[in-house]
Structure 1
Amino acid sequence: MRENKIAFLIIVGVLAFVGILWYAFENPALNPRLEEETYTIIRKWDMPLELNEISGIRWISENRIAAVQDEEGIIFIYNLKTNLVEKKISFGKSGDYEAITTTDSAAYVMESSGRLFEVEGFLSDTFTTNEYQVPFSGRNNMESLVADTLKNRLLFTVKDKDPNSEAYKGIYAFNLETKQTSSLPVLKIPLDSSIFKPKDADDDVEASTNFFPSDMAIHPKTGHYYILEGKYPQMLIMDSLGKPLKLHRLYKESFAQPEGITFAPDGTLYISNEGKNGTANILEVIFNEDK
């Protein structure tokens, strides 16, 4: 009887301790970091092991997201409702695949070397694959890709070094009709913008003086560009003319390594995180200005 009482008290003590920790973490008065967060995570989907290195994602239809991962030439169709991979499309050999986007019938996948794969009819059993080389290399490190369907083009930016300047990271266009890439950027991420300046002494100097895009998306309602960084988790928002509007810091507790971003047609935003020391996931996120 005495042993049962001791066990009961231990259980009560553990539950009380967990409750105190939860209250401290969730209470802004006790956890000031919550007041600094400029976003709300609505929902999380843990990825299966085969998507532990998930990189690019793209919304394709109700509850369905197309995804690629770093190592395999496979497009995974993930169902948000069933939490299952419902289809796999093998389009290429092993490689370093970083980004995916789609148009009406084709999927486009970007390799870090600048090799672009066009998978026509990707959801059918008779798809065809074409390859193009954009005028960049692994030295530039290509990790982003988004379809700008209004202008019949794909947009992407370099992660590391822009070949044209150290003052910006250019956003370049791949013309879907001519299959050619613009030699000059159509937009620029200005690294000297005040938006990147350190806000306080705790800010990482390199993170505040550079920006390493891991993916990008276009808001379907506003036309704003949402540019994600995974090295120092951040989200840069620029208007349709390329003017920086807001830089959101993303905390590593939730964004261990953000690699992919996509919008649903209604403006719902999804961000994928590679499984860095944990399980990969997809998060539904609302930023303050989107509420």
Structure 2
Amino acid sequence: MRILLSVAILISAHGTHLRTPLFMHELPAELVEVSGLTDVSDSLVACLQDEEALLYLLDVHDGTVMERHRFGPPGDMEGLTRVKDGFYALRSDGLVYHLRKARSGYALADTFRLRLPNRDIEGLGYDEARGVVLVAPKDVLKGDPQLRDRRQLFAFDPHTHQLLPEPVLSYTLSGILQQARDAGITIPVRTTPKGRQVPELKLRMASVAVDPVTDHYVILSATDRTLLVLDREGRFVHLYFLDPDRLPKPEGLTFLPDGRMLIASEGRNGPARLLGYSGLGLQH
């Protein structure tokens, strides 16, 4: 089902909300737990189903499933990104499936494991300028408060499948929240059982992409329903809040070559959805 929407900007006490989407497609029931999202062309995107090693190709214009390709046994599939004419699909425990174009669709070329200290790894995204695949862990490391405050974005070389020795980005939750406040964005808070007010945002990564227009990193948090935008030096650019009614559990993020941004959300008391936006460069 295709729903067309007008364009308007929304500002609330929490900061900047995304413009009303250009379109919103309801996805088939088999994709109610849609996960991962990557561009294929101006008119085609690919995604995964959370519990199955199935690659889906979707028509951007109406959300129709154009192709399905199984590449492995059932598992907790999370991240997906395209590199040239192939794909990398990520299982949450760090197992990566490399798919290549074949005569009849896509075939499994090989698998490898990412050796990260994190146990729940969700997002993949291709950084074409650097020629690396970005890796976004969802969980935070246990330990002292400084360790729990740290957020890191990793990457691997698609030619060697080796992790880069250092994170691509390393920043702190507290630092980002303070930069957001300094930019005039109100951070939502919650009250603890002891009566303290603490930030409600955790900024745990679900997906990551590079905006082809601004060259900024865009990091999706499904838990917070936010988009964190950072430049290549890790400096704060903006924080966007997503509409929970349209995107109850956003899990996938990608950009089309023309700069349009697409977000996929799992269904919650309804079908999964694919939403398209004009692009972050036009949002504020």
Q: Give ranges in structure 1 of 5+ residues lacking alignment.
A: 1-25
Quick check: 1:91–1:129 contact (8 Å CA) kept in 2?
no
CA distance in 2, matches of 1:102, 1:180: 17
Quick check: 2:46–2:58 contact (8 Å CA) kept in 1?
yes
CA distance in 2, matches of 1:168, 1:180: 23
CA distance in 1, matches of 2:179, 2:69: 40
CA distance in 2, matches of 1:288, 1:100: 21
Query: Taking structure 1 as reference, are residues 45 and 162 closer, same or farther at Cα in structure 2, changes over 3 Å only?
Result: same
Q: Give ranges in structure 2 of 5+ residues lacking alignment.
A: 1-7, 191-197
Match in the other structure for 1:231: 223
CA distance in 2, matches of 1:38, 1:249: 7
Quick check: 2:33–2:267 contact (8 Å CA) kept in 1?
yes
Instruction: Write the deviation string for residues 204-246 of structure 1: whole angstroms up to 9, x where unpaired.
Output: 43533x3111101101122101100111111100112221111
- Aligned pair count reads 262
What is the RMSD computed on CA atoms of the aligned residues? 2.8
The answer to whether residue 207 in structure 2 is matched with residue 215 in structure 1 is yes
1:226 maps to a residue whose letter is: V
1:282 maps to a residue whose letter is: L
Identity %: 25
Match in the other structure for 2:169: 187
Match in the other structure for 1:108: 88
Query: Taking structure 1 as reference, are residues 201 and 188 closer, same or farther at Cα in structure 2, changes over 3 Å only?
Result: closer
CA distance in 1, matches of 2:281, 2:43: 24
Query: What is the SS of the residue equivalent to 2:148?
Result: coil
4+ residue runs over 6 A deviation: 31-35
In the TM superposition, residue 167 of structure 1 has moved relative to its aligned partner by 3.0
Quick check: 2:261–2:278 contact (8 Å CA) kept in 1?
yes
Instruction: Write the deviation string for residues 183-224 of structure 1: whole angstroms up to 9, x where unpaired.
Output: 43121242122146696585343533x311110110112210
In the TM superposition, residue 65 of structure 1 has moved relative to its aligned partner by 0.8
CA distance in 1, matches of 2:40, 2:103: 10
In the TM superposition, residue 50 of structure 1 has moved relative to its aligned partner by 0.8
Rg comparison, structure with higher value: 1
Larger RCO of the pair (alpha carbons < 8 Å, separation 6+): 2
Quick check: 1:39–1:287 contact (8 Å CA) kept in 2?
no
**171-180 or 195-204, which deviates more:** 195-204
Q: TM-score, length-normalised on structure 2?
A: 0.83
Match in the other structure for 1:87: 67
CA distance in 1, matches of 2:228, 2:269: 25
More strand by share: 2
2:148 maps to a residue whose letter is: E
CA distance in 1, matches of 2:160, 2:112: 12
More helix by share: 1
